[in-house]
Amino acid sequence: MTNAKDKETEVLRDALKMLRKTTGLIVEVQPQIPDTHVPDAVIRIAWEDRDWHFAAEVKKTIAPATIGLVAQRLDLFRQRGFQEGLLITRYVTPQVADRLKAMNIQFVDAAGNAYINEPPLFIFIKGNKLIDKYPVEPPPRAFRRAGLQVVYALLCNPGLENAPLREIANVATVALGTVGWVMDDLRKMGCLIDLRKRTRRLIRKGDLLNQWVTVYPEQLRPKLMIGRFTADNFDWWQQADLQEFAAYWGGEVAAAMLTEYLKPQIVTIYANQPVGGLLAKNKLRRHPNGDIEILKAFWNFEHNGPHRNLVHPLLIYADLLATGDARNIETAKIIYEQELTQLIGEDR
């Protein structure tokens, strides 16, 4: 059985092979010194008397909800001195290809689709179908619905990994048995180590956070949706008080309150059911395309930040990235730097 790194290597090889085949360009992988903060690969592309070197981020899959994380990763490469970034993945749908092009995120996939915009070199190919040699595998249990709740609780509460399993289950609002197999998964992934005196330590928290943010929009968030709603006045939320309903602002509204940088287009609320009182007090009515979304809160703890009426910054960050919107991604970067780097500051 191949591991995740082997699968990424296979995707990288196949995507570059297809780029050579469809364009006739010289495409090769350059050697680099391994480091946790450098790209997955450095790619040299040569055409006529010019060549370019790309810092590559290899992802097995890409979806609208994960574009934001890729954009942030490529921006990190630029900060570290690389001039061009390149997403390499197994398949980019025409819709995602258009989104990536609009955001000027260059990509190559294993089906022969590509977008490269480095004048005088310009390539944009979309619509090629993938002859699927990559079997779809379910994520580890730690990154399915209940597992994601446990990982979220551990990331948001430093030191919680040392608590009794029953306490962790209560904080994550999952069954006791769930915690045991999530902890086993985290050990196998190299994210949890056992120390002497029956203590544990959560490590590689940056990697764990990135994986959580990537999987959350697909594996957990849709299951939390209570419904979409609308209000007569879009700015109703500026005067609303959610505390009496044990509810919290998330997404764009929470980001606006936290950073004073974003003008919200979608109002996101995480609430404990039932929500009838919340709807009645704020005169919200159900609408299939409403600009208000209410989701079920999936945790049982209060974070120690100054904004008790907001969800944890990790969830705000995930909500923003999941939109794939360029301005939300920019705001997510601010939240990561201001709020989340300290959460993984002692990472190892």
Residue 136, domain member (yes or no): no
| Band (78; pLDDT cuts 50, 70, 90) | confident
CATH code at 113?
A: 3.40.1350
Q: End-to-end alpha-carbon separation of the chain, Å? A: 28
**pLDDT tier at 34, thresholds 50, 70, 90:** low
Residue 209: closest CA among 317, 119, 292: 317
CA atoms within 13 A on the CB side of 149: 23
Residue 304 lies in a domain: yes
Q: What total number of domains does the chain contain?
A: 3
Q: Are residues 39 and 152 in the same domain?
A: no
**Which residues have CB under 8 Å from 14's CB, separation 6+?**
90, 110, 133
**Last residue of a domain, which of 177, 196, 219?**
219
Q: In terms of domains, do 215 and 269 share one?
A: no
Q: Are residues 120 and 164 in the same domain?
A: no
The DSSP result for 189-227, as a single string, is: TTSEEE-GGG-EEE--HHHHHHHHHHHHHHHTHHHHEEE
The reported pLDDT for the residue numbered 55 is 93
For residues 249 and 288, give the distance between their C-alpha atoms in angstroms, rounded to a whole number: 20
Cis omega (within 30 of 0) on the bond before 313? no
The larger pLDDT score, comparing residue 33 to residue 173, is at 173
Q: What is the pLDDT of residues 100-156, one digit of tens each?
A: 999 999 999 999 999 999 999 999 999 999 877 666 677 788 999 999 999 999 999
pLDDT at 4 over 70: no
Cα(232)–Cα(236) distance, integer angstroms: 8
pLDDT at 133: 67
Query: In terms of residue numbers, what domain contains 120?
Result: 4-125
What is the widest separation between alpha-carbon atoms in the chain? 68
Does 346 have pLDDT greater than 60? no
pTM across the whole model: 0.85
CB atoms within 10 A of CB 258: 21
- Last residue within a domain, chosen from 202, 219, 236: 219
User: What's the CATH code of the domain at 193?
Assistant: 1.10.10.10
